[in-house]
Structure 1
Amino acid sequence: MTQTAATSEESADPPAAAAVEDVRKIYGKGDSRVAALDGVSLAVPQGRLTAVMGPSGSGKSTLMHCMAGLDTVTSGRVLLGGTDLTGLTERALTRLRRDRVGFVFQAFNLVPTLTALENITLPADIAGRRPDRDWLDRVIDAVGLRDRLGHRPSELSGGQQQRVACARALAARPDIVFADEPTGNLDTASGRDVLGLLRDAAHLHGQTTVMVTHDPSAASYADLVVFLADGRVAGHLADPDADTILERMKSAGSPA
């Protein structure tokens, strides 16, 4: 990519849905001190699918947990839209996560006694809100499980369960969805279905999503890939393909 093209792309970037500014996350003290995040600054573009990659221990899951308000930072700022998470009480953080953030985890985290539909609407039910029926129908059709809505998780395949988890995250129309290795437990075909759903949610419906993954094929569905190494940002790659990601991973051993 030429410098002119890169400048043009950067000027067309959408506003940030979330950002971290010089964030550090330190675990332990003295000889056992570990810097999981060491001065990370990153802006997540609104309405895009962003993948975060890096070797084990690079800080990618810690970064996602801090951005989602699931963990606190040692220093720096975490912003969700115009809200600074670092100044919020635990009660306010809980409310923010409930109202503005969606989660998709590798382990699905479905309630076994509830049907697929009940799992999808659970966050709204807990918050005492009535789901937007039109949007809910669009999400259900997008995951392709309309004929399985009355089934419990044990009656669904792994891919179907993960699609229910994706629908649950999307149904409440959160400001941002965080997905932690969402295809890690899925076969190739099911993984493609879930990744296609997340990409379509971003491109067709403007749903901002951050996905942590170790898989170059999964990351190739993203609009932007952010590479971490040793708790620092080691580079970015826009509109990637799997081969380019793999090559970039090989040279991501030190921060850029």
Structure 2
Amino acid sequence: MTNSALATAAVAAVDLVKVYGSGPGAVRALDGVTVGFDRAAFTAIMGPSGSGKSTLMHCLAGLDTATSGAALLGGTDLTRLPDKALTRTRLDRIGFVFQSFNLLPQLTAGENILLPLSLAGPAHDRALYTRLTEVLGIADRLRHRPAELSGGQQQRVALARALLTRPEVVFADEPTGNLDSRAGAEVLGFLRHSVREFGQTVVMVTHDPLAAAHADRVVLLADGRLAGELRDPDLPTVIEALRTAGAGR
């Protein structure tokens, strides 16, 4: 990837290395990965088990510390930020959607959605809050607690929470992993909608070829290294690319 492409990316890894442990038992989860993720685009990260896809996302999102290299959010190298500045950056500039929803059970759906604003401090954007809850079909469920919601509804609450702060990038870690096929398709459809309608940048880790086929681009990893990419993927090309990446291990 060219320096100019990296410079204009929403988020990028530059020669990123992550090693767990030390000595003979050390595991090199990322081995010099350089890749950028386009603004206002939906990118999926895929690869065989142990390929480093979740580690890459965690380093790019500031959830894990790289051994060496750079994790760039716009012009900010997250690997060089002190803890307090890194926490502030995650609150202000990054949204998260997880497989396990990560909703607080004692709060209502509406309170869960508004939680990042109460932590980050910006004024409540009532218009965006209303629009997100209506588009996601949860406007009539905002007084319910997570235990009173289906899995699909809980993930839509998590999506609204991630988007309400207008983050530079949303990281989605297996967002359909705990959902049935119908609810999963609805969540993926809204991720696509958020890119098209709101100009959102979405980076998703998934093992599911059908989920990846919703993306604009698929980045493939194997053994902690880049193993190729697909533009405008569909299900057959994703399956074939995964087979090739797995065979090359």
Q: TM-score range by the shorter chain?
A: over 0.9
CA contact (8 A) 1:140 1:146 kept: yes
Find the partner of 1:141 among 124, 134, 138: 134
What letter is aligned with 2:185?
R
1:30 Cα deviation after fit: 1.3
* Cross-structure match for 2:15: 22
> What corresponds to 2:202 in structure 1?
209
Say whether 1:115 aligns with 2:108. Answer: yes
Identify the residue that residue 69 of structure 1 maps to in structure 2. Answer: 62
* Corresponding residue for residue 7 of structure 1: none
Does 2:95 correspond to 1:102? Answer: yes
Query: Residues 254, 86 of structure 1: CA spacing in aligned structure 2 closer, same or farther, 3 A cutoff?
Result: farther
Task: Show the counterpart of 1:235.
Answer: 228
Give the partner amino acid of 1:246. Answer: I
Equivalent AA in structure 1 for residue 164 of structure 2: A
Deviation sequence 1:168-187 (CA, Å, 0-9, x none) = 10111111110100000000
Which residue matches 1:8?
none
Is 1:89 aligned to 2:89, yes or no? no
**What residue number does 2:181 align with?**
188
Q: Which residues of structure 1 form unaligned runs of 5+?
A: 1-10
Q: Does 1:222 align with 2:210?
A: no
Q: What SS class does the counterpart of residue 234 from structure 1 fall into?
A: strand
Equivalent position amino acid for 1:206 in 2: G
Conservation of the 8 A alpha-carbon contact between 1:69 and 1:97: yes
Q: 8 Å contact 1:106–1:185 — kept in the other structure?
A: yes
Give a deviation string over 1:34-74, Cα, whole Å, max 9, x none.
Answer: 10000100100000111000111100000000000111111
Distance across 2 between alignment mates of 1:254 and 1:70: 30
TM-superposed CA distance for 1:12, in Å, is 11
| Number of equivalences | 246
Distance in 2 (alpha carbons) for counterparts of 1:222 and 1:14 = 22
CA shift, 1:17, in A, is 0.2
Report the secondary structure of 2:10's partner residue. strand
Residue 173, structure 1, aligned to residue 166, structure 2? yes
- Whether 1:253 and 2:246 are equivalent positions in the alignment is yes
TM-score by length of 2: 0.95
Q: Which runs of 4+ in 1 moved over 6 A?
A: 11-14
- In structure 2, relative to structure 1, the CA distance for the partners of 1:115 and 1:104 (3 Å cut) is same
2:153 matches 1:156: no
Q: What are the ranges of 5 or more consecutive residues in structure 2 without an aligned counterpart?
A: none
Q: Give the deviation of 1:121 after TM superposition.
A: 0.6
State the 1:131 CA deviation.
2.0
- Share of identical aligned residues, percent? 61
Cα gap change, 1:255/1:136 in structure 2, threshold over 3 Å: closer, same or farther?
farther
CA distance in 1, matches of 2:231, 2:118: 38
